[in-house]
Structure 1
Amino acid sequence: MLLRYLGTDQQVRYWCEDESRLGLKTITGRTITLKRVKPLAIVGWQRKNFYLYGLVEPATGDSFFWEFSHLDSTCFQDFLDLFSKAHPEVLNLVQMDNGSFHKSLDLEWPDNVIPIFQPPNSPELNPIERLWEHIKYELSWEHCTTLDQLRRKLKQVLDSISSEAIAEICGWDYITSALLSATS
């Protein structure tokens, strides 16, 4: 598939894709307290949730996020189509895990999106995983009673993260070095 693009002047961008579930169950985490003092907080136990599909470009910090109700090939197809339309003039190489819905025979890959599957059981190879950790850290101890309230808080968190911050979180040296070597 890549062979047809060799020798063309089409811009190529390298993205990392993943999905994360967010819901009303309070995300707990470490917090600073006095010695032997346990933190007090309201914790929600509702199981309502949604999935945030995301793409980041480690070299620039550009990102693309979309919310879906499920984690399946239908939603993933919609996500690919939305992303493809957002970056129509570019060849997008997209690193992702081996989720079954990523390899569904029902998927129709847009012409400008080429998947790169990372080895099985290796989420640590995907830089966007660190961004999910950052987002969930920012949402930790937030008690949301409705999904709309959670969406508003998530939007605030996403809006507060600059492209530079995303590049710092996701721009691992081995990736940026490889991209610089490939373009020089």
Structure 2
Amino acid sequence: MNKFEEKTTSSKQIFEGKVVKLQVDEVTLPDGNTSKREIIKHPGAVAVIAITPEEKIVFVEQYRKPLEKSLVEIPAGKLEIGEKPELSAKRELEEETGYTTDELELVTSFYTSPGFADEIIYLYFTNTLYPLAEEKALDDDEFVELMELSLEEAEELVKENRIHDAKTAYAILYLKLRGMK
């Protein structure tokens, strides 16, 4: 037993949307007191660090309504129910970029906001891209613009806060540690 464990005494789902569910749990704390926890349930996501034959990193720019601004990010998307993360990663890469690959290497997985959400992102790497013979359609409510940048150009966008999300910042750090120039 974990000495920090909080035992759930009741749980109530208060919202179910297209992407997330919100529940409120009452918990017993390690010291015996009780508290409430607001928890977002998420099916998980994937992201792909994709490198072109020209040694460019593939990004997409898209508007993020919660932030009221556009961000430049690595290709990513939500896991579909029952879908294996690697298949989801390939699907998202194809839909968002027009590229595909037969080689995806799992880099890591991580929780995005463990204080209130259970979302986990599976991060993949590929440097064996080739264009799709026929482009795949984006989701009906998705609008993205493809960008291919050098590591140096990506670092400039970090400084400008145009790259401003954890998965993409992690990807840039990963590539630097891997020795990409």
Same fold (TM over 0.5): no
In terms of fraction of residues, the more strand-rich structure is 2
Q: TM-score range, shorter-chain basis?
A: 0.3 to 0.5
Structure 2 length normalisation: TM-score?
0.34
With a CA cutoff of 8 Å and minimum separation of 6, indicate the structure with the bigger relative contact order: 1
Structure 1 length normalisation: TM-score?
0.33
In terms of fraction of residues, the more helix-rich structure is 1
